[in-house]
Copies of this chain bind each other. A is one copy, B any other.
Amino acid sequence: MSAPAGRRGRRPGSSADTRLAILESARASFAERGYAGTTIRAVAGAAGVDAALVHHYFGSKDDLFLAALALPVDPRVVLAPALEGGIDGAAERFLRVFLSVWDDPEMQLPLLGLVRSVLDPGGVELLRSGFVPIILLPIGQALRIDHPEHRMPLLASQVIGLIMTRYVIRLEPIASMTADDVVATFAPTLQRYLAGDLPIEGD
């Protein structure tokens, strides 16, 4: 049953208010204590609700984290098709999904807002303890590459550089390159990071 549109003045304790209270509490906690440092119980407590409610509204802790980040898309959903098909051509498939999201004008503003927040206090810790283990590593595991904890950060280094040059600094000619040229330019780099020869100990 969906609520009738146009209804205002919800009573206290209704779903929208509770959901928002949880979300704000989560944002504050993630920003202050990082991903690992925030507990569902603490978020629930700060929002004045029970811990089970957090799961009821947001599912897992990972889902709550993604909701708190205000990502315009769920990377796990849009990337899912690119993760099938094995390691061959994985870099190109990844890049095409990446470009379809970042080149979408509607997505750019919220995404750029996220990028800027990385340099805020706690943003780095959030990236390291939250984004990496719940976004980056699962991608590597889905691709079944070896040493994902070593190779995915390398991929991240070039992707971050691409984000900075193409979307933040808008450095030419990268900023104006067609999607095909971006793929032709960067896919070989990413493919090598995913599956090429690298100095990895104990391999």
Contact = CB atoms under 8 A, between A and B. Distances in A.
Contacts of A115: 119
A172 B153 contact: yes
B185 A156 contact: no
Taking chain A's interface residues, is the majority helix, strand, or loop, or is none over half, making it mixed?
Answer: helix
Interface stretch (A12-20, A90-98, A158-166): A158-166
A171 B153 contact: yes
27 contacts: A116-B119, A118-B169, A119-B119, A124-B169, A127-B169, A127-B171, A128-B170, A132-B171, A150-B173, A153-B165, A153-B171, A157-B158, A157-B162, A157-B164, A157-B165, A157-B171, A158-B158, A158-B189, A159-B161, A160-B164, A161-B161, A161-B162, A164-B164, A185-B198, A188-B192, A189-B189, A189-B192
A156 B165 contact: yes
The 7 closest A-B pairs by CB, nearest first: A161-B161, A157-B161, A184-B199, A157-B165, A160-B161, A181-B199, A189-B189
Q: Which of A115, A116, A119, A169 has the most CB of B within 10 A?
A: A169
Contact of A157 (B116, B174, B198): B174
Copy tally for this chain in the complex stands at 2
A165 to B, nearest CB: 4
The size class of the interface chain A forms with chain B is: 35 or more
Interface string A113-147: 00110110000100110001000000000000000
Given A157-B171, A160-B160, A184-B198, 16 more contacts: A116-B119, A119-B168, A127-B171, A128-B170, A132-B171, A149-B173, A156-B165, A156-B171, A157-B166, A158-B158, A159-B161, A160-B161, A160-B164, A161-B164, A180-B199, A189-B192
